[in-house]
Structure 1
């Protein structure tokens, strides 16, 4: 099985989301996914949403991973790109439904609409949220929403 995995540690500062996008663009280019491909824009949007959710809703650092499948990668089919964001909060993702002019609440709806598959799973004391996009395939609407309310497990100490 061959899967190329790259990862980036993301700080608890919302400004880190921009750094994560720039890092992801360079890794996508290095994997053969051109900046001008629709797949690149879709993946950057997914990464932006997942990293933003981790940083904003937990107030904790996170780890962004991208996995690029190869022809003999089994579950990671050729051309499948998997994005994972792990954080130390055990709270499951909780989809919200934004109304009209709301400025928040659309992130997981976007992930559900753009990714071919997505979900989450416990990881240690925290969780990992993941999504997959199949290169060359139209994006689907399959998803796996979590539910329930939860307080952040990491206190934000560095607010401007």
Structure 2
């Protein structure tokens, strides 16, 4: 399995969020993920949410890391992209539920609803929050191949259905936090 890992240092300044998005978008393109793919759009949103949390809630520098995990040897497609944001704050992430028109308090709910997996761990004096998005396998191509437009339409419809399913699951999922021995545990209910 091939792994490509890149990272960006983030200053504690809200303008860094836009820089982090641009940087992540260019790294995705460099790894073969097109800008208009649902994977890229979702990952850029998650970069924005996690970097914003680090910049706004900690006031400390942070490190954004992207890891591109390739498919196992012999697989046609697969693998996943891992996004990590490490900061110097020892405070665990605290999911909140935003009401109505509030513009804050949705970041970790979005991460929970959009990522295939996510979590956090203490690291040194701070913490690392991570999430992973699976790279969807390519749909099978019938013998003869054709022009490819049917395959592209199928892939687009599959990605749209996946995004709609995730959005629907997110709408009915609430994130709760509990503490045990100083460690927070998260549970989707």
Bucket of the pairwise TM-score, normalised by the shorter protein: 0.7 to 0.9
The structure with more radius of gyration: 2
In structure 1, the residue matched to 2:89 is 89
Structure 1 distance, partners of 2:177, 2:47, is: 19
Say yes or no: does 1:16 pair with 2:29: no
Gaps of 5+ in 1: 149-160
Distance 1:32 1:143 in 2: 34
> Are the counterparts in 1 of residues 109 and 175 from structure 2 also a CA contact under 8 Å?
no
* Residue in structure 1 matched with residue 107 of structure 2 by the alignment: 107
- Does 1:46 pair with 2:63? no
Which residue pairs with 2:187 in the alignment?
none
Q: State the alpha-carbon separation in 2 of the partners of residues 143 and 133 from structure 1.
A: 20
The separation in 1 between residues aligned to 2:174 and 2:98, in whole angstroms, is 18
Aligned residues: 145
> CA offset at residue 55 of structure 1?
0.5
Distance verdict in 2 for CA 1:78–1:145, change over 3 Å: farther
Separation of aligned partners in 2, 1:147 and 1:39? 31
How far, CA to CA, are the matches of 1:147 and 1:130 in structure 2? Answer: 19
- RMSD, aligned α-carbons: 2.3
Query: Quick one: structure 1 residues 62 and 146, their matched pair in 2 at CA, closer, same or farther if it must change by over 3 Å?
Result: farther
How far has the Cα of 1:81 moved from its partner? 0.3
- Give me the whole-angstrom Cα distance separating, in 2, the residues matched to 1:27 and 1:2: 16
Greater helix proportion = 2
Cα distance between partner residues in 1 of 2:105 and 2:68: 29
Indicate the residue corresponding to 1:131 in structure 2: 131
Q: 1:79 touches 1:135 (CA, 8 Å); kept in 2?
A: yes
- The structure-2 alpha-carbon separation of the partners of 1:146 and 1:125, relative to structure 1 and needing over 3 Å to count, comes to farther
Instruction: Tell me if structure 2 keeps the 8 A contact 1:93–1:145.
Output: no
- Compare relative contact order (CA 8 Å, sep 6+) and give the higher one, 1 or 2: 1
Distance 2:110 2:49 in 1: 8
Instruction: Compute the displacement of 1:2 (Å).
Output: 2.5
1:136 to partner: Cα distance: 1.4
TM-score (norm 1): 0.83
Aligned to 2:31: 31
User: How many angstroms does 1:5 deviate by?
Assistant: 0.3
